[in-house]
Amino acid sequence: MTGADLVDGLRKLGLDRTSEVIVHSSLSSFGYVDGGAEAVCSALTEVCGTVLMPAGTWDLTGIPAPPGLVRPHNAYWNAEGWPDFDKRVSEATSFRPELPIDRWLGTIPETFRLTCSPFRTEHPLFSYQAAGPAAERLLEAQRPDWPLGPLEALDGDVLLLGVTHTSNTTIHLAEQYLGRSRFYRYAKSADGLWVELPNIPGESHQFDLIEPVLRSATKEIQIGNARIRRIPKQAVLAATRQLVEADPAALLCTDDPTCRCAAALQQRLASLAGKA
């Protein structure tokens, strides 16, 4: 596969210079790509107006909760004591905009950071990066207490490059509107101090259950070995709302009481009880 193949495929999906997209991706899903991740990034920025990608640093900046600090329905672990907590804070990396992106997010976001000169937010755990005319507008929507702000500000589409809906963070945005998947997490901030960060999203391993509901709104094409899907952001939000309002446990696993899914369900039930 070449960059030109990707450009052609993206245009067949109807994307153009007016498009704003949040991209979730897997380079390996394409098979061999002439030019590698850089060719993918170049194709995205050539076709689309504004490209938004995740740029989190959890593997470098994340830390446990301080001892004794327990939030309701939070499904997180505490340091064993203050000496252990202080050690983990000292071993973590202070957030800096030039930090590499969490390896779990894949090769394409890190290559985008290095080659496309994107703007990047300074959230210590859950940063985003964007390039294009709307980049600053999208990224300015993020606050320490509202990490999914760039997705909320996006006026466009979710673009899945060889990944499933388990990577589709826009589903988490819809969950949070409904009082679900709002977790407290902890990181080492730019000033070297620990910080508590609310509204970090939770598990996504059941998110592919949304696919039948989104089928009519999805445009799809095969590029190389990868399944490429374009879904309007608003369709993702509406489908998630439809499912969760019908069943508070929709898109969650129900067989593991230690999973964040169980805590997310309790958050939703508490939200419903508060509205009664």
pLDDT tens digits, 211-253: 999 999 999 999 999 999 999 999 999 999 999 999 999 999 9
* Block residue for tokens 């590029």: 223
Instruction: State both tokens at 187.
Output: 């990181």
Q: Model confidence over 159-178: pLDDT tens digits?
A: 999 999 999 999 999 999 99
Q: What is the DSSP string of 258-269?
A: TSHHHHHHHHHH
Burial of 38 from C-beta contacts in 10 A (0-12 / 13-18 / 19+): middle
Q: What pLDDT sits at residue 276?
A: 46
Number of domains in the chain: 1
Q: Compute the mean pLDDT over every residue in the chain, rounded to the nearest whole number.
A: 97
Tens digit of each residue's pLDDT (9 = 90 or more) over 9-51: 999 999 999 999 999 999 999 999 999 999 999 999 999 999 9
Q: Residue 93: its pLDDT value, please?
A: 98
Q: How far is CA 180 from the centre of its chain?
A: 16
Name beta bridge partners: 129: 53, 120
Query: What is the pTM (predicted TM-score) of this model?
Result: 0.96
Write out the E strands in 224-265. 226-232
pLDDT of residue 47: 98
Beta 20-25 vs 157-161: how paired, if at all? parallel
User: Domain range holding 166?
Assistant: 3-275
Contact call for residues 88 and 79 (beta carbons, < 8 A): yes
Give the model confidence (pLDDT) of 91-100 as tens digits: 999 999 999 9
